[in-house]
Amino acid sequence: MSAVTRSIDGEPVTTKLAMKMEDSMQAFAVRAACFIGELDVPYSEEFDGHDFGATHVIAYVGDEPVGAVRVRWFQSFAMPERLAVIQRFRGHNIGQLLLERCRQLAEARGCNMLYAQVLPPDIKYWEKQGWRRLVPEEMSNGAKHIVAMVRAVDPTKPLPAVEAPEAIVLRREQQLDASGRPLGTVSN
Amino acid sequence: MDAFIPASGSNRPVVTIKLASTSDELMQCFALRSAVYIGEQQCPYAEEFDGNDYTASHLILYVDGEPASCMRLRWFGTFVKFERAVILKRYRSMGLFVPFTQWAMEFARKKGYSRVYLHSQHRLWPIMERQGFRKVSEQIFNFSDHEYGAYYIDLAVDAKTAPTMHTDPLVLNRPEDRLDMPGILERSAERGATNPHAEWTERRAN
């Protein structure tokens, strides 16, 4: 892994968990800037109903909130998603810093697997940080718009071989108020 | 009341404007402003969320139910200040800005405000002037990397309906974007005055 930036123009780069309303607000502002402002994602898709069942991590340069990621917790894995860094602060590995904070968080909770859904152009970015495809490329259907990737929380304990077909773990969760149990269990 | 800007054809999008009155709607305003000011215009977070958001009224505009535009209104003694107006990029060619500003002016007028004041980015001056806004002075000032001029417009307040101290008290309790419709507290008035706390005082004396 490449060295992680600790300061930009003399301002320290830090991460913290959202603990207060204003912290969450900052995470939401960063995501709205990147996903709604830059990538034209509709509000209703970006704020999908999972934000109050998740943990939010925010990255700061000095006092300025510049990055955010959300972690959702499942019984057999933790799922970082909605990773965003404000455009003019990119290129300083702030995303890597956020994902490392997610890894530490998962470790502290006794979780041994990280799972993410990644867009094909971003696969290399995640691979550089120690992630691999849940299903080897040659076995997966090339038409997929998102790719499931996994990473061991503790790299000295490699993940066991995965049997879950990609189609199952990529399925969307049930409606939040439906009686169905949430899907997304990766069986190893 | 939600305002539906009349659509001339059946497949025109439905545009709705309302006063943001729930935390969800407020959150949508903040997301829109983050998208445009922080995402597009590189505004720092602390300048965008400047401490005045919880002393203001926020208006939100939806296109087919999707948050598309918002505006913040702050109420001063003799005027209301319109600020932080944004339209999401994908909705910008729809001509939403003028009807939204008109809706906001009508909202302020019904609330009894006779003057609107705003800081307009230089590139928007012709649009403001076409709507009847006048320059407060020739002064040009800068903040958050843009050039601004102060504009105002006078509103014709209806002395009969504008809220005063002598307006029916329960009219003043109505939701502010629906001052002409009965509000929830008027329905509560039908229950009469049971003064539910009065007995509690007596119990405490025992």
Task: List A59's β-bridge partners, or say none.
Answer: A15, A67
Residue A186 lies in a domain: no
Q: How far apart are CA A1 and CA A130, in angstroms?
A: 8
Contact B46 A34 (CB under 8 A): no
The pLDDT, as a whole number, for residue A2 is 44
| Helix, strand, or coil (residue A55) | strand
Give the residues of chain B that fall short of pLDDT 70: 1-10, 199-206
Contact A33 B27 (CB under 8 A): no
Q: Domains in chain A: how many in total?
A: 1
Taking only the tens place, the pLDDT of each residue in A25-65 is 999 999 999 999 999 999 999 998 889 989 999 999 999 99
Residue B195 lies in a domain: no
Looking at the complex, does the CB of residue A41 fall below 8 Å from at least one CB of chain B?
Answer: no
Contact B46 A64 (CB under 8 A): yes
Unique residue bearing structure tokens 């020739």 = B138
How big is the A-B interface in CB pairs under 8 Å? 67
pLDDT mean over A104-125: 92
The pLDDT, as a whole number, for residue A187 is 42
Q: Write out the residue range of the structural domain in which residue A87 sits.
A: 7-169
Looking at the complex, does the CB of residue A138 fall below 8 Å from at least one CB of chain B?
Answer: no
Residue A109 lies in a domain: yes
Q: Which tokens belong to A16?
A: 């913290």
pLDDT at A175 over 70: no
Looking at the complex, does the CB of residue A64 fall below 8 Å from at least one CB of chain B?
Answer: yes
Chain B: which residues have CB within 8 Å of chain A? Answer: 27-28, 30-32, 34-36, 38-40, 42, 44-46, 48-49, 65-67, 88-90
Q: How far apart are CA B163 and CA B112, in angstroms?
A: 6
The pLDDT, as a whole number, for residue A178 is 44
pLDDT at A95 over 50: yes
Percent of chain A scoring above 90 in pLDDT: 61
Contact B39 A65 (CB under 8 A): no
pLDDT at A176 over 70: no
Residue B201 lies in a domain: no
Residue B200 lies in a domain: no
Ordered DSSP codes for A56-90: EEEEEETTEEEEEEEEEE-SS-EEEEEEEE-GGGT
Distance from CA of A95 to the nearest CA of B (A): 17
Residue A32 lies in a domain: yes
- What's the pTM? 0.85
Residue B90 lies in a domain: yes
Residue A84 lies in a domain: yes
Distance from CA of A65 to the nearest CA of B (A): 7
A36, A47, A64 ranked by CB distance to B39: nearest: A36
Q: Write out the residue range of the structural domain in which residue B44 sits.
A: 3-185
Antiparallel, parallel or unpaired: β A113-118 and B3-4:
unpaired
DSSP state of B142: E
Q: Count CA atoms within 13 Å of residue A169 on its CB side.
A: 28
- How big is the CA angle at B116 (ends B113 and B119), to the nearest 5 degrees? 155
Residue in chain B lying closest to A84 (CA): B39
Residue B130 lies in a domain: yes
What phi and psi, each to the nearest 5 degrees, are found at residue B97? -65, -45
Residue A131 lies in a domain: yes
B45, B89, B90 ranked by CB distance to A29: nearest: B45
Residue A188 lies in a domain: no
Q: How far apart are CA A96 and CA A85, in angstroms?
A: 10
Distance from CA of B167 to the nearest CA of A (A): 38
- Would you say the ipTM is above 0.85? no
Residue B147 lies in a domain: yes
Q: Domains in chain B: how many in total?
A: 1
Q: What is the CATH number of the domain that holds B165?
A: 3.40.630.30
* B contacts of A64 (beta carbons < 8 Å): 44-46
Distance from CA of B32 to the nearest CA of A (A): 7
Q: Identity (one letter) of the amino acid at B134?
A: R
Q: How far apart are CA B119 and CA B20, in angstroms?
A: 22
For residue A70, count other CB atoms closer than 10 A to its CB.
23
Q: What is the CATH number of the domain that holds A57?
A: 3.40.630.30
The pLDDT, as a whole number, for residue B79 is 97
Distance from CA of B39 to the nearest CA of A (A): 4
